[in-house]
């Protein structure tokens, strides 16, 4: 009996050890012999970009005209500071005739997309649980608006050919593929025979897409997932399993959204990938939303700095940086506003009351704590 108990006790300790993240993995940065052969690209990523009904009401300027551009004015330069910027567009633009609405069935004005483009985004992921809030027309019309605004997208599609067209961008000489998948659609049915409309997390499909991206010459493969448990600040078992499988499939970088709060980040040893050491963040939190509770009212701009040696054609992550952001809702000289405020000089925000400042600083501190929880090598932007 005692021996059985001892075996069970040791097994439980082993299981707990396996559940803990490996914080020993360090960035592998090669010794530099010919600095002239090196160049670095900077990719910025944010979490969920949402448009709840109070947001479009605050931004309304006439019966069917909205101006969301001021929302991004404090973060514009930090988004455009990168060579390529992406985030998760968690709404659809199905048109005024479908009635504008927020949660639980989103439908935003077209002006929202034009503002996201003007803010500095190069690509948005569209595979999320709200992609089918207005059915197939919501997907097709949203894509039409994205194309109209010259804003790239991946995750939802208009045809099988569109779905199979891997998004690969030449970012200053580094061919980078972006893939996106969602855990589901909130029970909204995918039309029969049209599975191509949205990428659902399917390991066979993901492996096929990563393999195809490599065949097309992608040197860097970035996978953006919409997964996890809402409002949980630790990754779920499903998230961990999916990330681990995606590492085995050969992804270089893995990003996450959906929990609406930040979750930790890790470095990992890659498998059949271009990078020696890869990077994953389980959730980037909210970049823009009307959610006001602690942890949901903040997010981050994450910067992935990737260096290439043109002599050896090798790639590595030279650093990962983050800039905490907080969503302000209140009165300014302009009127009622939503603003995304970066963790910079507080005196630049004269409209903030003491309570606002306290909440904002708490959010910034939360972000630093969560992103450093598994690995302290992720550094704040200077």
Q: Tell me what the mean pLDDT of segment 6-12 comes to.
A: 42
What is the model's pLDDT at position 225? 98
What is the model's pLDDT at position 255? 98
**37 pLDDT tier (thresholds 50, 70, 90):** confident
What is the model's pLDDT at position 19? 43
Query: With 90 as the cut, is the pLDDT of residue 71 above it?
Result: yes
Residues 6+ apart with CB under 8 A from 12: none
What is the model's pLDDT at position 199? 98
Query: With 70 as the cut, is the pLDDT of residue 254 above it?
Result: yes
Tens digit of each residue's pLDDT (9 = 90 or more) over 75-130: 999 999 999 999 999 999 999 999 999 999 999 999 999 999 999 999 999 999 99
**375 pLDDT tier (thresholds 50, 70, 90):** confident
Please give the backbone phi and psi of residue 249, each rounded to the nearest 5 degrees, phi first. Answer: -75, -15
Using only C-alpha atoms, the chain has a radius of gyration, in whole angstroms, of 21
Distance between terminal CA atoms of the chain? Answer: 59
**23 pLDDT tier (thresholds 50, 70, 90):** low
Query: With 70 as the cut, is the pLDDT of residue 5 above it?
Result: no
Query: Where do runs of H (alpha helix) occur along 120-168?
Result: 135-148, 160-164
* Percent of the residues in the chain that have a pLDDT greater than 90, as a whole number: 86
Residue among 72, 189, 167 nearest 120 (CA):
72
Tens digit of each residue's pLDDT (9 = 90 or more) over 139-187: 999 999 999 999 999 999 999 999 999 999 999 999 999 999 999 999 9
| Longest CA span, the chain | 77
**11 pLDDT tier (thresholds 50, 70, 90):** very low
Residues 6+ apart with CB under 8 A from 301: 44, 45, 46, 75, 78, 79, 287, 322, 323, 325, 342, 381
What is the model's pLDDT at position 24? 59
What is the model's pLDDT at position 345? 79
Spatial distance between the Cα atoms of 175 and 197, rounded to a whole number of angstroms: 25
What is the model's pLDDT at position 29? 63
* Percent of the residues in the chain that have a pLDDT greater than 70, as a whole number: 91
- Measured CA distances, 193 to 132, 190, 203 (Å): 15, 8, 20
Query: With 90 as the cut, is the pLDDT of residue 376 above it?
Result: no
Strands 336-342 and 314-331: antiparallel
**14 pLDDT tier (thresholds 50, 70, 90):** very low
Domains along the sequence of the chain with CATH: 32-380 (3.60.21.10)
Query: With 60 as the cut, is the pLDDT of residue 16 above it?
Result: no
């Amino acid at each position: 009996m005692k021996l059985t108990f001892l075996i069970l006790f040791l097994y439980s300790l082993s299981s707990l050890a396996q559940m803990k993240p490996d914080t020993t993995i360090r960035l592998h940065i090669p010794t530099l012999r010919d600095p002239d052969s090196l160049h670095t690209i900077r990719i910025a990523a944010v979490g969920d970009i949402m448009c709840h009904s109070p947001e479009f009401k605050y931004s309304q300027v006439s019966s069917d005209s909205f101006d969301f551009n001021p929302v991004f004015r404090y973060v514009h330069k930090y988004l455009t500071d990168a060579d390529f910027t992406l985030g998760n567009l968690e709404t659809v633009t199905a048109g005024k005739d479908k009635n504008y609405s927020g949660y639980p069935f989103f439908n935003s004005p077209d002006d929202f997309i034009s503002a996201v483009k003007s803010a500095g985004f190069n690509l948005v992921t569209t595979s999320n649980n709200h992609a089918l809030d207005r059915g197939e027309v919501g997907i097709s019309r949203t894509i039409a608006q994205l194309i109209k605004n010259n804003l790239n997208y991946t995750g939802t599609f208009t045809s099988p050919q569109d779905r199979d067209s891997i998004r690969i961008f030449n970012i200053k000489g580094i061919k980078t593929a972006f893939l996106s998948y969602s855990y589901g659609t909130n029970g909204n049915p995918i039309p029969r025979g049209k599975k191509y409309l949205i990428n659902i997390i399917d390991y066979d499909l993901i492996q096929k897409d990563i393999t195809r991206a490599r065949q097309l010459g992608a040197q860097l493969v970035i996978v953006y997932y919409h997964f996890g448990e809402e409002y949980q600040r630790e990754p779920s078992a499903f998230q961990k399993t999916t990330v681990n499988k995606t590492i085995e499939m050969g992804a270089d970088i893995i990003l996450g959204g959906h929990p609406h709060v930040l979750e930790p980040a890790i470095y990992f040893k890659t498998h059949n990938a271009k990078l020696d050491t890869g990077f994953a963040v389980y959730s980037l939190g909210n970049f823009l939303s009307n959610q006001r509770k602690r942890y949901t009212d903040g997010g981050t701009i994450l910067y992935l700095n990737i260096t290439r040696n043109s002599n050896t054609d090798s790639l590595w992550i030279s650093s990962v940086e983050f800039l905490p952001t907080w969503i302000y809702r209140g009165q300014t000289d302009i009127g009622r506003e939503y603003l995304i405020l970066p963790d910079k000089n507080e005196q630049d925000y004269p409209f903030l009351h003491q309570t606002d400042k306290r909440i904002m600083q708490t959010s910034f501190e939360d972000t630093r704590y969560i992103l450093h929880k598994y690995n302290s090598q992720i550094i704040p932007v200077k």
